[in-house]
Amino acid sequence: MKGLTAKVFRTYNASITFQQQLDENTPENATDAEKLAAYTEANRMVAILCNHQRSVSKNHGASMEKMSDKVSQPSHASYHCDSDHLRPTQLRGLKYQRMKLRQVLFTLDPKLKKKRKDLTELESDIDDEFVEYWEEELKKKDIEKVTKKFEKDNEKAEAEGGKPAPASELTKSIKEIEKEYKELAKERDGENISIKGNKDADKVLAAIEKQDERIQNFKTNIQTKEKGKDVALGTR
């Protein structure tokens, strides 16, 4: 082609590759997460074509461990380690939330426990030891949250010339949190679930389906992040 420059050819090659990859990787009736994953994958393939590389981040491995189901040690005892890279992962946290919804559903409609055994599949790697540790971590976060709020409110009150709240109020809040998590501990067998408020089985099932979508989207994000670890997607 007369007058064709390397820059124009490179742009054409990148553009047509992007469109081809986008068409190939976008499922029919794709969710928003799947569309974003297809876009990112197409962008990644163009970046590889144009040799847009980067060094893998030093924190990539630890970041992936926190997101995915991987832990650095196969033993369940690793849950009780204090190192950041051994803490329960975000994905398992989503599965824990799903498990609690499912327990509520089976309490509302016990017949579903036999009819819908498929409902437990996504939580197959959530064992009792994980649940115990995860709830302990959640409790710590809740206590930390109310403590920070208590201290911040008292600082504000003092700055405005008011009287700070007594420490007994914080103690009371912490005791309420501890009581709540003691109740959760009693529910670990999945048989004695306390249900607060009026709940409908169909609505809980719909909530589980939404949680399934969150889990799938999160898995897609993990795969996308792993594939793009050594590619500079923002380079033009």
DSSP 8-state symbol, 53: B
Q: Which residue has the tokens 């329960």?
A: 88
| Average per-residue pLDDT for the chain | 79
Neighbours of 21 (CB within 10 A): 19
- Taking only the tens place, the pLDDT of each residue in 173-206 is 999 999 999 988 888 876 667 777 778 889 999 9
* Structure-block tokens of residue 139: 């409790």
CA distances from 169 to 43, 144, 173, 178, 217 (A): 54, 14, 6, 14, 41
The answer to whether residues 63 and 221 touch, using CB atoms and an 8 Å cutoff, is: no
CA distance readout (Å), 90 to 66, 71, 130, 186, 230:
6, 12, 13, 24, 23
Q: Is the pLDDT of residue 62 over 80?
A: no
Confidence band for 10, pLDDT divided at 50, 70 and 90: confident
Per-domain residue ranges of the chain: 6-51, 76-218
What is the residue type of 125?
A: D
Condensed to tens digits (0 to 9), the pLDDT of residues 64-114 reads 555 554 433 333 333 333 333 334 477 888 899 999 998 889 888 888 888
Q: Is the pTM above the cut of 0.85?
A: no
Q: What percent of the chain clears pLDDT 70, i.e. is strictly above it?
A: 80
pLDDT score of 229 more than 80: no
Task: For residue 46, count other CB atoms closer than 10 A to its CB.
Answer: 22
> Would you call 231 helix, strand, or coil by DSSP?
strand
Please name every residue paired with 192 in a beta bridge, in sequence order, or none if there are none.
none
- Look up the CATH architecture of domain 6-51: Orthogonal Bundle (1.10)
Q: Say whether pLDDT at 29 is over 60.
A: yes
